[in-house]
Amino acid sequence: MKRRVTLGVTALAAIAVSAIPGSATAATGGDRGNAVTAATGGDRGHSDHWGVITRNTIGSPVAALRNGPYGSFGVQGPSARPPYGRGSLGIEVADDSTSLTPPSEKVDFGNEVDFFGDPVLGLNQVGFHVFQTNENISYGGPRNLPGIKFEIDPNLTAAPATNYSTMVWMPGPSPVTNRWSPYLDATTTGDWFLTGNAGNVTGCNQTTMCTFQQLKTALNDGGEQPIIYTAAVSKGRDHMWIGAVDGLRINNTVYDFEAHGVKTRRAN
């Protein structure tokens, strides 16, 4: 395996509530590091190590574990409340609040510990639920949404010196607004790309994005397998967005964002 490099992105201020610690006693679904405590039916536990990734955060955005949101007003039924439990990950980013270029903010709420060293090609299920508003669409269009990011070592045969890239999922439009969406499946919807030289080598970059399967095929180039550094929900640097995410799924584990911490559940 190529030597891993220290990632050096300078972070500014961020307002966040991080996940509370929890003990881990039994691995879930064979996912490395995604451990749960024995709870109701062995199905729920706490997941450590979630919070704002400071070196990847710019400006003074909010990524806070919170209750709700419930609504919007007049909305009833399952879509009026978070899909799991009572809480979610609230996100707020501004589009013009820094002296940098571009002037917009950015926040990554993620985990720098539990996924480190896991195989990228072992990712089979990825996605989340989102609370999208019509206001957010007015700020940046129907695809103005948070995404999912994996910092990785791409281990490309054609680029052996490239030890770092970010694997980014950009969702398609949410099918509903002013309420909680159904599950948005990142393996079958939206677009993926790699940042930096890895994107140029594979052809999966911000200009020519790929499907999930196309990206995995491009990374599976016959050499050493790509590995994960971190996983995160991310927003920015682009348009203002105020909303929430819940039920982040990575393989067989669903991460339930609650005001008092991050819980893990087995995916159905």
Q: Taking 60 as the threshold, does the pLDDT of residue 15 lie above it?
A: no
Return the pLDDT at 43.
54
Whether residue 7 is predicted with pLDDT greater than 70 in this model: the reply is no
Average pLDDT over residues 164-179: 98
In contact, 52 and 109? CB cutoff 8 Å: yes
Pairing, β 26-27 against β 35-36: antiparallel
Which of 41-50, 200-209, 243-252 has the weakest average pLDDT?
41-50
Residue 2 belongs to a domain: no
DSSP 30-87: T-TT-EE-S-GGG-EEE--SEEE-GGG-BSS-EEEEEE----STT--SGGGS-SSSSE
- Of the listed ranges 37-46, 81-90, 233-242, the least confidently predicted one is 37-46
Please give the residue that has the higher pLDDT: either 180 or 26.
180
pLDDT for 128: 99
Is 3 part of any domain? no
Question: Alpha-carbon distance 26 to 28, whole Å?
Answer: 6
Integer CA distances (angstroms), 96 to 59, 62, 103, 198, in order: 10, 15, 5, 30
Q: Does position 9 have pLDDT exceeding 70, yes or no?
A: no
Q: Residue 245: is its pLDDT beyond 80?
A: yes
For residues 86-93, give the mean pLDDT. Answer: 98
In a domain, 137, yes or no: yes
112: CB partners within 8 A, 6+ apart: 49, 53, 229, 230
Compute the distance between CA of residue 158 and CA of residue 175 in angstroms, rounded to an integer.
39
Q: What is the mean pLDDT of residues 100-111?
A: 98
What's the pTM? Answer: 0.85
pLDDT band at 18 (very low <50, low <70, confident <90, very high): very low
User: 106-133 pLDDT, tens per residue?
Assistant: 999 999 999 999 999 999 999 999 999 9
Classify residue 150: in a domain, yes or no: yes
Tokens linked to 74: 């007049």
- In the predicted structure, residue 67 carries a pLDDT above the cut 50: yes
Range 225-229 average pLDDT:
98
Average pLDDT over residues 221-234: 96
**Beta-carbon-side half-sphere exposure of residue 130 (alpha carbons within 13 Å):** 31
Torsion-angle region of 214 (φ positive above 0: left; ψ -120 to 50: alpha; else: beta): alpha
Mean pLDDT of 5-13: 37
Question: Domain containing 208: what range?
Answer: 15-266
Do the domain assignments include residue 158? yes
Report the C-alpha gap between 184 and 36 in whole angstroms: 24
Alpha carbons within 13 A on the beta-carbon side of 155: 21
Confidence of residue 268 (pLDDT cuts 50, 70, 90): confident
Q: What is the CA radius of gyration of the chain?
A: 18
Number of structural domains (the chain) is 1
159 lies in some domain:
yes
pLDDT at 20: 36
What local confidence, expressed as pLDDT, does residue 141 receive?
98
Residue 8 lies in a domain: no
